[in-house]
Amino acid sequence: MKKVALAVAILFVAATGVSAQILDPVKWQFGAKKISDGEAVVFMKATIEDGWHIYSQHVEEGGPIKTSFAFAPSADYALVGKPAEPKAKSKFEQAFGMDVAYFDKEVVFQQKVKLKKGTTTVRGTVEFMACDAERCLPPDEVEFAVAVK
């Protein structure tokens, strides 16, 4: 009888584990384009599922986790300024008690780099938080490596 109860318990856990949904509403793509022999632009594109959004890089203290980029140091290139972003939408979010800047559907961030040699790979991470009308997911981090040729 104990073996039957154990088997039923294992099947129940397995069945509920299969039905659990993993939310992943943001997909990232990365690319680069040379704009001259000595400069390139790295593109970081987020495609966001309907009903979800991510936040701007420019969110005040006390607000949600803002989107941020960290680039690995390299002797092959130097960052020129900070990542650029298009104009964000803004709305008051009760959960944070403030207006917050956000993006939905898709957004492309751009980082200009000064090249110290002809070809290189720009590596880094992006950290972001995705929310919908009911919940926010824990912050996520995605690594990237973009070849600049």
Token code pair at residue 133: 């009308």
Residue 148 buriedness (CB in 10 A; 0-12 / 13-18 / 19+): buried
Q: To which residue do tokens 């509920």 refer?
A: 16
Going along the chain from its start, the domains and CATH numbers come out as 24-148 (2.60.40.1250)
**Distance, CA of 93 to CA of 109 (rounded, Å):** 23
For the chain, percent of residues with pLDDT exceeding 70: 86
- The amino acid sitting at 123 is R
* Model pLDDT, residue 20: 55
Residue-wise pLDDT for 39-78, tens only, equals: 999 999 999 999 999 999 999 999 999 999 999 999 999 9
Cα–Cα nearest to 58, from 102, 94, 106: 102
